[in-house]
Amino acid sequence: MNSILNTYSPLSKELYNEYRGEVMRDALSTQKVLVIGAGGLGCEILKCLALSGIKEIHVIDLDTIDLTNLNRQFLFRMKDVGKYKAEVAAEFIMKRIPSCKVIPYTKKIQEFGIGFYQEFSVIIAGLDNIEARRWINRVVIQMVERDENEKVIDGSRHYLIDGGTEGLNGQARVISPFESACYECTLSQLPKQLQYQMCTIASTPRLPEHCIAYVYEVLWQKEQPDVKLDKDNFDHMNWIYQKALERAKQFNIEGVTYKLTLGVVKNIIPAVASTNALIASICTVECIKILTGNGSQLNNYIQWYGQNHQTGVGINVIQQERLDECTECSIQQLQIKVKRTDQLSILLTLLPPEIELYCNGQTLITNNNLRKQGFAHLLVKTFQELIESKIIYENSVLKAIDKNKTINVRIQYE
């Protein structure tokens, strides 16, 4: 590490050339990093951060360790099966690297308030689903504060580094809110998920995947209409597995396994340890650049092709562009003047009737099903009460979505 910190980089910004040796080590040791996900990619990221000199790492993951994780998630052992990934990973890292403090959390990312995420200059996501990525992308955008001239206030921008792997291929991106394309800007570029024709899975299944898809998409709703399927619940997934086995025997189909069941239901793509290691190292390097100001950060998306039938092994850097019509980082603004003693319900008279209002990743208002979703109690709170309880912040920009059109709502207090 010393050789890295003391080596001059011709790519480093001239303003930050004073960062060398002890200065860079101080920058790494005094800032906290949040890692979301402690799975295959998350284990590699945690290892790389700890070995790079980061002294305090926080990690969120509500999953528990499964036997199938052990072939690539190297922070776990057989004795850890059934335990929380975040807790075991934190214990392993701190035992191996005592100078590094790792704090685990075993809750959903949506259960943390905006104040929690504001503690971290950099958030690294090693997630395995689109919705969680979209949510944390929304949070880093909403944490940005602006002055009266609508300019971003220095120090209010938090960076999101997003990594992902698919077999032998992988990608990483650096999201700098209102500077680079956010995750929502690039949703249209995502590959379509594999889908099976309903007529095939219902009438003429030929593959084990067809049997699993039938139970998942048809039989669960038919036999358990009042139970919401939880893909992280073992009993639910085992039910699908057992029913798929029965259907496979009926049609003389072999190959239905519990692992395949998880893969079909969760759309899991087989993970490769070497790909995880490569993408984790890219994420870590970008994190170090941001924390120390040493080196030009990725601009802003990198793809790794470990398997490409046309070009073979390769790597590609793309500058993804922001979309003017992006539902998260669009520049449309609406200013509303209220009194601090006004209740939140006053916005219902000032905004379109079918509006959905968000702040800091949390829903404030949704007219369509307000009471059922449990938001009615917020309407009677004053803006001052909402600020004191940290549901909203003084300079927070609320996000209003009306028929897929997003408007940033800035509240001005009289």
| 320 CB-contact burial (10 Å; exposed 0-12 / middle 13-18 / buried 19+) | middle
Q: For strands 56-60 and 32-36, give the pairing.
A: parallel
Q: How far is CA 302 from the centre of its chain?
A: 17
Nearest to 40 by CA among 61, 17, 12: 61
3-state SS assignment for residue 327: coil
Token pair 């000199």 is found at 53
**The total number of residues written for the chain in this structure:** 414
Exactly one of 48, 100, 182, 199 is catalytic; name it: 199
292: number of CA atoms within 13 Å, CB side? 30
**Other CB atoms within 10 Å distance of the CB of residue 403:** 8
d(CA 307, CA 309): 7
Could you tell me the CA-to-CA distances from 64 to 83, 114, 134, 387, 393 in Å, in that order? 5, 25, 23, 36, 34
DSSP 60-108: E---B--GGGGGT-TT--GGGTTSBHHHHHHHHHHHH-TT-EEEEE-S-
d(CA 158, CA 337): 28
Continuous segment of H or E residues that includes residue 246? helix 234-250
Strands (E), 149-204: 159-166, 169-175
Is residue 199 part of the annotated active site? The answer reads: yes
Q: Which residues contact 377 (CB under 8 A, 6 or more apart)?
A: none
Strands (E), 159-244: 159-166, 169-175
**Which pair of tokens denotes residue 228?**
């919401």
d(CA 168, CA 276): 9
Looking at the annotation, which residues are catalytic?
Answer: 199
